[in-house]
Amino acid sequence: MHDKKYFDDLVIPSIKGLTAYIPGKPIEEVERELGLKNIIKLASNENPKGPSKRVLKAIEMASKDISQYPDGNGFYLKQAIAKKYAIADEMITLGNGSNDVLDIIARAFLGPNREAVFSEHAFVVYSIATQSVSAVSKVAKACSPDSGQPYGHDLAAMRCLVNDKTSVVFIANPNNPTGTWLSDEELESFINELPKHVIVVLDEAYCEYSETYDDSASVKWVQRYPNLIVTRTFSKAYGLAGLRVGYSICHSGIADLLNRVRQPFNVNSLALVAAKIALADDDYLVETRALNAKGLKQLEGGFSALNLNYIPSKGNFITVDVGVDAMQIYEKLLHEGVIVRPIPGYDLPNHLRVSVGTAEQNELLLKVLKKVLTRV
């Protein structure tokens, strides 16, 4: 019988210090364990609308060919993205979700004696991807809780950490799990100030949810800043989380390097077809955005009625301060049939991140939360 030390000694030191991501259990398993029915999940920032009918029809038609390998280059999806943003398809890298693209970037540009800069309370994958390639994470202090962007990115603090060893700077806009955001002016000024040897990764997984955001702005910046990589996903606003497909847009020279690292056939055939159709379904995106805006207002009003502070969000989720250890509130909600996301790993131990659901799901969450808080 081999002990843990035996296996730890086999691996490189940076991997030894990592903690595996622990996903939630399937709803069906939680229902079985707790003896509950009709559990609602507001934990993973999924689109409550589900995929569009056009996407479902396209998937059904494409499923007859799943015995064949997918198009390894994603030719038609790349063409669709290139047409939408008036760019060359050589500027695009496809990934198994944008998470995959972030990992590709880390493997291409980070390693021993190189550093990555990102904010406190930023997406956990930045830290995981950096550590997994034996690079060093430099974490900037976030904005104060009473600032205009509570717990959000402090670009000045991030700039102070950039030095000759810095290879990558990660920025999430909007940020997960805080939902905070930066203006175009702030972002471009920051990018413009950085040394040219630093790759700037602008993670826009939630950008489509903003009713005022110009989704072509950052793409245009790529033309001016060859060290900028913009990453996006079809998992959130487009409702394709289960298919895992995302992409990046950057200078063709950078894209060439990323595509050398990208695994062959990293996006499956159904995902390629679904993403291409979803990208052209403007009506679906408008409906998604409207549903999300109503849901955010509903949750904000509910939290205010419960005298709970929340972080204003531009995403499809909202993070709320429950005033006590959030894990105990999470457990109580779970036993009432509502799954949300506690975020102690983001150094926010009193906060819960709540995904925007349907009006009925949001109402149930607020009702159960009120019940649970009266027992604390």
**pLDDT above 80 (res 176):** yes
Q: What's the whole-model pTM score?
A: 0.95
Same domain flag for 208 and 90? yes
Same domain flag for 169 and 213? yes
CA gap 78, 91 in Å, rounded: 9
For residue 327, the enclosing domain spans: 4-50+283-373
**pLDDT above 70 (res 1):** no
Per-residue pLDDT of 9-31, as tens digits, reads: 898 888 888 887 777 778 898 88
Of 235, 259, 280, the one marking the end of a domain is: 280
pLDDT of the residue at 16: 84
pLDDT of the residue at 210: 85
Phi, psi of 60 (to 5 degrees): -60, -40
pLDDT of the residue at 256: 97
Secondary structure (H, E, C), the chain = CCCHHHHHCCCCHHHHCCCCCCCCCCHHHHHHHHCCCCCEECCCCCCCCCCCHHHHHHHHHHHHHCCCCCCCCCHHHHHHHHHHHCCCHHHEEEECCHHHHHHHHHHHHCCCCCEEEEECCCCHHHHHHHHHCCCEEEEECCCCCCCCCCCCCCHHHHHHHCCCCEEEEEEECCCCCCCCCCCHHHHHHHHHHCCCCCEEEEECCCHHHCCCCCCCHHHHHHHHCCCEEEEEECCCCCCCHHHCCEEEEECHHHHHHHHHHCCCCCCCHHHHHHHHHHHHCHHHHHHHHHHHHHHHHHHHHHHHHCCCEEECCCCCEEEEECCCCHHHHHHHHHHCCEECEEEHHHCEEEEEEEECCCHHHHHHHHHHHHHHHCCC
Same domain flag for 143 and 128? yes
Same domain flag for 123 and 263? yes
Which one, of 129, 68, 78, lies nearest residue 103 by Cα? 129
User: Which of these ranges, 24-33, 42-51, 221-230, 255-264, has the smallest mean pLDDT?
Assistant: 24-33
Q: How many domains does the chain have?
A: 2
pLDDT of the residue at 217: 86
Average pLDDT over every residue of 142-169: 97
**pLDDT above 80 (res 6):** yes
Q: Could you tell me if 241 and 47 are in contact, meaning their C-beta atoms sit under 8 angstroms apart? A: yes
State the CATH number of the domain containing residue 20. Answer: 3.90.1150.10
Q: Percent of the chain scored above 70 by pLDDT?
A: 99
CA gap 367, 306 in Å, rounded: 10
Same domain flag for 291 and 250? no
Same domain flag for 274 and 306? no
CA gap 56, 75 in Å, rounded: 21
Per-residue pLDDT of 210-228, as tens digits, reads: 877 777 889 999 999 999 9
Same domain flag for 111 and 228? yes
Same domain flag for 297 and 240? no
Average pLDDT over every residue of 175-190: 96
Same domain flag for 181 and 229? yes
Of 264, 280, 296, the one marking the end of a domain is: 280
State the CATH number of the domain containing residue 66. Answer: 3.40.640.10
pLDDT of the residue at 238: 97
Same domain flag for 131 and 236? yes
CA gap 198, 14 in Å, rounded: 22
Of 228, 260, 280, the one marking the end of a domain is: 280
**pLDDT above 90 (res 81):** yes
Mean pLDDT taken over the chain: 95
Same domain flag for 270 and 185? yes
**pLDDT above 80 (res 241):** yes
Same domain flag for 155 and 291? no
